[in-house]
Amino acid sequence: MPLLDARDPQAVLAAAAHLEAGELLAFPTETVYGLGARADVDDAVRRIFAAKGRPAAHPLIVHAADIEQAQRFALSWPTVAQKLAQAFWPGPLTLIVPRQPRLASVAAGGQASIGLRVPAHPVAQALLREALRRGVTGVAAPSANRFGRVSATTAAHVAQEFGPALQVLDGGECPGGIESAIVDCTGAQPTLLRPGLLTRERIEAVLGSALGEPDASSPRASGTLRSHYAPDAKVRLMPTQPLRDALGMLGDQASSLRLAVYSRSAMPAVRGIVLRRMPDNAAAAAHELFAVLRELDARGVTLIWIELPPASAEWDGVSDRLQRAAAA
Ligand code: TXA
Ligand code: MG
């Protein structure tokens, strides 16, 4: 029972009924799996914080079936939010807007703002529509991982995080692989709080102006803590040549290190070291990133040396997750 196969239409109905009843449900989106609960029932939302071990002041994203449903949670709808929602929803973008004071305050961690997203994944869409039919207007859902850890991109990863008792709607592998881009629309200038696969250029092209950088006054986002997205193994990010040089110098002590190397460039084979190639394409790298970190943990690797991704914009989301993994 805890695993529902989303290819079965009955499973989506059962999953929506589960949400309606105020229970936790993990479900797939185009980015990563979410750990969901109905946003309008405070006790349901509190279960999310308890399961994740997440501090109650860290706000969750509320997911809605469409732009009209999302807008219900907003006190006002800034022009920038409208432009971005029109261009990118449904899709991997979260908008922070002023919150309707009486709604979803636990989900919003008590903040005056709220993070909203209309996901594009067909299973998430079917689930949100069925939930809406049952009176559930929004589903609060952080990424389905314990606080500070690597996000889950398969149903099996969700079960690794929370155990077999959690109800999971299994929609296969998430296509995107890293979390949505987050744009704060509450200030004078919209700011990018978290990069995703949607590039800064594409967002700025729709806005017709530059995105600001988050500063001390920006709302807190746990995905923006310096250390986050961490596997058990220690991660070190290195430029190509220093990585190659370091490998060349390992010699006989190599196998005792329990080291893995994850790189786009070819690296010299060293006995006792796991070499894993990162795709050349940013979307493909994002798609597999968290699964690879989990797989290396499962192999008992304790140290992962990762080649720095290219500095170009399409790699921003992957670079951001790697930097935070390395800061742990
Ligand atoms: O792709 C995604 O965004 C996934 C899927 C499940 O939708 N969700 C996700 O949720 O990554 P989570 O909770 O792991 O990350 C959401 C981020 C957090 O860093 C949170 O602090 C921030 O969004 N956030 C949510 N509401 C906010 C608000 N009102 N103000 C500032 N930051 C907010
Ligand atoms: Mg997260």
Structural domain boundaries in the chain: 4-207, 234-326
Q: Which ligand sits nearest to residue 221's alpha carbon?
A: 1
The torsion angles phi and psi of 307, rounded to 5 degrees, stand at: -70, 130
CATH code that applies to domain 4-207: 3.90.870.10
Q: What is the pLDDT of residues 149-186, one digit of tens each?
A: 999 999 999 999 999 999 999 999 999 999 999 999 99
- Put residue 86 in one of left, alpha, beta given phi > 0 → left and psi -120 to 50 → alpha: alpha
104-129 per-residue burial string, b: 16 or more CB within 10 A, e: under 16: bbbbbbebebbbbbbbbbebbbbbbe
Q: Using DSSP, how many helices (H) and how many strands (E) does the chain show?
A: 10, 14
Tell me: pLDDT of 147 over 60. yes
Question: What contacts 85, CB < 8 A, 6 or more positions away?
Answer: 67, 70, 95, 118
Q: What is the pLDDT of residues 81-108, one digit of tens each?
A: 999 999 999 999 999 999 999 999 999 9
Taking CB atoms and a 6 Å cutoff, what residues make up the pocket around ligand 1? Answer: 29, 31-32, 34, 58-61, 94, 96, 108, 111, 113-115, 117, 141-143, 179-180, 182, 219-224
Q: How far, CA to CA in Å, does 230 sit from each of 49, 147, 294? A: 19, 10, 10
For residue 234, which amino acid is it? K
CATH code that applies to domain 234-326: 3.40.50
Mutate to test the pocket of ligand 1, among 31, 117, 143, 194 (most ligand atoms within 8 A of CB): 143
Q: Which atom of ligand 1 is nearest to the CA of 176?
A: 1
Tell me: pLDDT of 18 over 60. yes
Q: Which atom of ligand 1 is nearest to the CA of 193?
A: 32
SS3 assignment, position 176 = coil
For residue 293, name the pLDDT band (cuts at 50, 70, 90).
very high
Ligand 1 mean position, distance from CA 118 (Å): 13
